[in-house]
Amino acid sequence: MSLTCPLAAVPPGSALRLDGPVPVAVFNVAGAVYAIDDTCTHQDASLADGWVEDCHVECPLHASTFDLRTGECTGPPAKRPVRTHPVTIAAGIVRVDVVVTTP
């Protein structure tokens, strides 16, 4: 499935949470747009509310860090990566193709 938002809603230096079956966080880092699962893999925190530095987001709750490009967990206490999702931008619209897995 796809989630969309206007590119203008996520200007450089900002992040936006997109609600869907899986909440997704969209980040604009100096014009490059990334999408990852919004929920931290440690506990229930929204990574869209975190702090971004050098393509890494720091969770607002306990400061785990994740690489926005790969989803890799780069700082504890979280151990598991977050998923990344492909982003396309056309006509001022950001489209995130989210893989929804069913249990």
Q: Which residues bind ligand FES (CB under 6 A)?
A: 40, 42-43, 45, 59, 61-62, 64, 77-78
Toward ligand FES, which CB reaches closer, 11 or 76? 76
The token pair that represents 91 in the structure block = 């006509």
Quote the radius of gyration of the chain (alpha carbons, Å): 13
DSSP string, 53-72: ETTEEE-TTT--EEETTT--
d(CA 42, CA 16): 20
Tell the smallest beta-carbon distance from residue 96 to ligand FES (Å): 21
Tell the smallest beta-carbon distance from residue 71 to ligand FES (Å): 14
Tell the smallest beta-carbon distance from residue 94 to ligand FES (Å): 24
Which letter does DSSP use for residue 35 in this model? Answer: E
d(CA 1, CA 13): 26
Toward ligand FES, which CB reaches closer, 36 or 40? 40
Toward ligand FES, which CB reaches closer, 2 or 43? 43
Tell the smallest beta-carbon distance from residue 47 to ligand FES (Å): 8
